[in-house]
Amino acid sequence: MKQFSTSDTLNNLPKQFFASLVKKVGKYIEAGYDVINLGQGNPDQPTPTHIVKKMQEAAADPANHKYSPFQGHRYLKQAAADFYKREYDVTIDPDKEVAILFGGKAGLVEIPQCLLNQGDTVLVPDPGYPDYLSGVALANAEMVRMPLREKNHFLPDYNELPSEEIERAKLMFLNYPNNPTGAQATKEFFQETVKLASLNEICVVHDFAYGAIGFDGEKPISFLQIDGAKEVGIEIYTLSKTYNMAGWRIGFAVGNSSVISAIELLQDHLYCSIFGGIQEAAAEALTGPQDCVRELNNLYEGRRNVLIDGLRSLGWNVTAPKGSFFAWLKVPKGLTSTEFTNILLEQAHIAVAPGIAFGELGEGYVRVGLLTSEERLEEVVKRISQLEIFKNDKKNKMG
């Protein structure tokens, strides 16, 4: 059979790391090993019952068996606006400042194609969510990495970036609570970002995927809570993490009306519409009972405490994340993140993600998902304690 060559666009896409991770872990599972998979960001809890019930009811409604409006039902846009007013005291115009997305990832990949021309510059966090790079590649744009360093609490130091790169930049990606580091942003940092973006005409895209997950009593702040933020950017929110709706593929962007209009124009050409039943369920999630959100946050915080306390008991000097459902852990000295990841999988049958998969400055760390029970996390600690690498001179070996 003839093999047709792929386009330059596809050839220039970054390698999908997580696809290879799934394949590698799958081989161990197929071989009969009890693998504890902490390598992906796939919520392990079910969608709350009241949301599922709304979906079931909506699926039976013949009105939802037809095409939905191209740009989504207005009731869902209103629900998103109501959500932002309730949670963050941010006023959103549902008709001009909300775009319904086919999941948060879709919006993140689409936005460079909406705003950039070939050769335009994008500021991207390093380490950061790998799919930011996908959107940049599809737009044939140029990427400038913003270092996220532990000494700066994993916030970019804009003074570290050459002024000419900031002046050239047209787009900036940020993400707090942060994947992969678990860091939270401060009001002061967001204020600095708004000022920088305004002076240099940069559109800020804040990925707020983990907006509902903050620990130690610190609720994550929205970028749009900052004066002037709506003038310089948007925020992308997904229901995947807040409401355990990862498989439903529903999210939204809110903020600057010109950017929202551009997203909707592109999506008019890419898609037809999102099933109305999913939109009804999403509206119920955003405006219905929120006890499930608080309970989920408490669940992740409990898991974090079990894992971090357990690893510290081994002599591993690890830092507790402030948000998200990830922990960002330094690897033992003398090992790369990939080498340590392989040791955990091959010798302890624990799957984690090597930091290098998230950027050059991810080297020296691994990302661990808090996406299994406390009992299984205790088993993780037990298995790690049995590794020879931690038995000999622990304190000298651990970072």
Sign of CA dihedral 293, 296, 302, 307: negative
Residue 241 burial by CB count (10 A; 0-12/13-18/19+): exposed, middle or buried?
buried
pLDDT of residue 389: 75
For 49-287, CATH number out of 3.40.640.10, 3.30.360.10, 3.90.420.10, 2.40.160.20 equals 3.40.640.10
For the chain, give the number of residues. 399
pLDDT of residue 17: 74
pLDDT of residue 125: 98
pLDDT of residue 368: 98
Pair type for strands 121-126 and 169-175: parallel
Domain ranges of the chain: 8-46+291-397, 49-287
pLDDT of residue 396: 40
Per-residue pLDDT of the chain (399 residues; tens, 9 = 90+): 989 999 999 999 988 777 778 888 889 999 999 999 999 889 999 999 999 999 999 999 999 999 999 999 999 999 999 999 999 999 999 999 999 999 999 999 999 999 999 999 999 999 999 999 999 999 999 999 999 999 999 999 999 999 999 999 999 999 999 999 999 999 999 999 999 999 999 999 999 999 999 999 999 999 999 999 999 999 999 999 999 999 999 999 999 999 999 999 999 999 988 999 999 999 999 999 999 999 999 999 999 999 999 999 998 999 999 999 999 999 998 999 999 999 999 999 999 999 999 999 999 999 999 999 999 999 999 999 999 776 654 444 444
Strand extents, DSSP E, 269-357: 326-330, 350-351, 353-354
Q: The whole model's pTM is what?
A: 0.95
CB 155 within 8 Å of CB 125: no
Helices (H) and strands (E) in the chain, counts: 16, 12
pLDDT of residue 392: 52
CA-CA-CA-CA dihedral for 137, 143, 147, 153, to nearest 10: -60
pLDDT of residue 399: 44
Among the listed residues 147, 125, 180, the one whose alpha carbon sits nearest the alpha carbon of residue 354: 180
Among the listed residues 350, 294, 346, 295, the one whose alpha carbon sits nearest the alpha carbon of residue 327: 350
Q: Which CATH class is domain 8-46+291-397?
A: alpha beta
